[in-house]
Amino acid sequence: MERVLSTYVNCSLGGMTSVYRARALANPSTRYDLVFTKDRGGESAFADLPNCNVRIVRPDRLKNYLSFALATVDYDLFTVTSQPELMNQVSAPARTKVVYEVHAPIETVVESEMRTLDVTRVDEIWAPSEWAADVVQQALPRRKHARVRAVPNLIDRTRFNPTAREVAPLRGRPGAIPVIWIGRMENVQKNYTDFLRVLRLLPPEYYGLLLFSFETDPARMSAVLGAAGMLGVEDRIDFYFNVPQQDVGALHRAVRDAGGVFCSTALSESYGYGVVEAGACGLPVAAYDVGPLSEHVLEDYRLVPVGDLRGMAHAVRALSGRVTAEA
Q: What is the pLDDT of residues 34-90, one digit of tens each?
A: 999 999 888 999 999 999 999 999 999 999 999 999 999 999 999 999 999 999 999
* Digit-coded pLDDT (tens) for 169-196: 898 898 999 999 999 888 778 999 999 9
The number of angstroms, rounded, from the C-alpha of 168 to the middle of its chain's C-alpha atoms is 21
Neighbours of 94 (CB within 10 A): 7
* Digit-coded pLDDT (tens) for 107-155: 999 999 999 999 999 999 999 999 999 999 999 987 777 899 999 999 9
**Domains 2-150 and 177-319 equal at CATH topology level:** yes
Kindly indicate whether the domain formed by 177-319 is annotated with CATH number 3.30.410.40.
no
Residue 292: pLDDT band with limits 50, 70, 90? very high
* Digit-coded pLDDT (tens) for 194-224: 999 999 999 999 999 999 876 778 888 899 9
> pLDDT value at position 322?
61
- Could you give the count of Cα atoms lying within 13 Å of 6 in the half-sphere of its Cβ? 25
* Digit-coded pLDDT (tens) for 308-324: 999 999 999 999 976 54
d(CA 31, CA 28): 8
pTM, entire model:
0.91
Give the fold, CATH level 3, of 2-150.
Rossmann fold (3.40.50)
d(CA 249, CA 279): 10
Compute the average pLDDT of residues 256-279.
96
Instruction: Please report, for the chain, the start and end positions of each structural domain, with discontinuous segments joined by +.
Output: 2-150, 177-319
> pLDDT value at position 87?
97
Q: Which residue has the higher pLDDT, 265 or 324?
A: 265
